[in-house]
Amino acid sequence: IASSDLFKGKRSVIFALPGAFTPTCSSTHLPGYEKHYEEIRKLGVDEVYCLSVNDAFVMRQWGIHQGLPLEDKDASNPLNPGNFKNVKLLPDGAAAFTRGMGLQCTWSSERGFGERSWRYSAVINDNKIEKLFIEDGKVTQNHGPDPFEVSDAGTMLEYLRSVKK
């Protein structure tokens, strides 16, 4: 699936994280967006996507482990049926989207991850970035602590409320 197919003619929220099954990603980042999914939608967002440099099998199992409701009928989103009803999980196994965003990082010595996505969130409006929140304001290689201040659901909600027409 091309990213242009996901974002064309829609206003979408995407948030990216270093990895499925990792502590902050599993305890706070994904659960926050899933919890606030309906409110985000009411603020003029058509879709919410979670992206990680993991393969599709890992992302699916992570979503199931997180208790995300499965979508097995509706085919209105190119990822369904077979993904999830609310927050859709986007595997970026080869880091192609992540590199295209210029937000790839390597945590080889710090966590042994290799190439991953830096943590960020964005509003993409009809294939154009409307707003971008990047942790620490820049990508840092082998970053020690895992920054999580601006890509969370709360920050996204504040932004969406501030621009609601």
Of all helices (H) and strands (E), which one includes residue 153? helix 153-163
The sign of the CA dihedral 70, 72, 74, 75 is positive
Of the residues 6, 13, 20, 25, which is catalytic? 25
- Give residue 70's identity as a one-letter amino acid code: L
Structure tokens at 134: 């990047």
Residue 63: CB atoms within 10 A of its CB come to: 21
25 flagged as catalytic: yes
Q: What residues are annotated to the active site?
A: 25
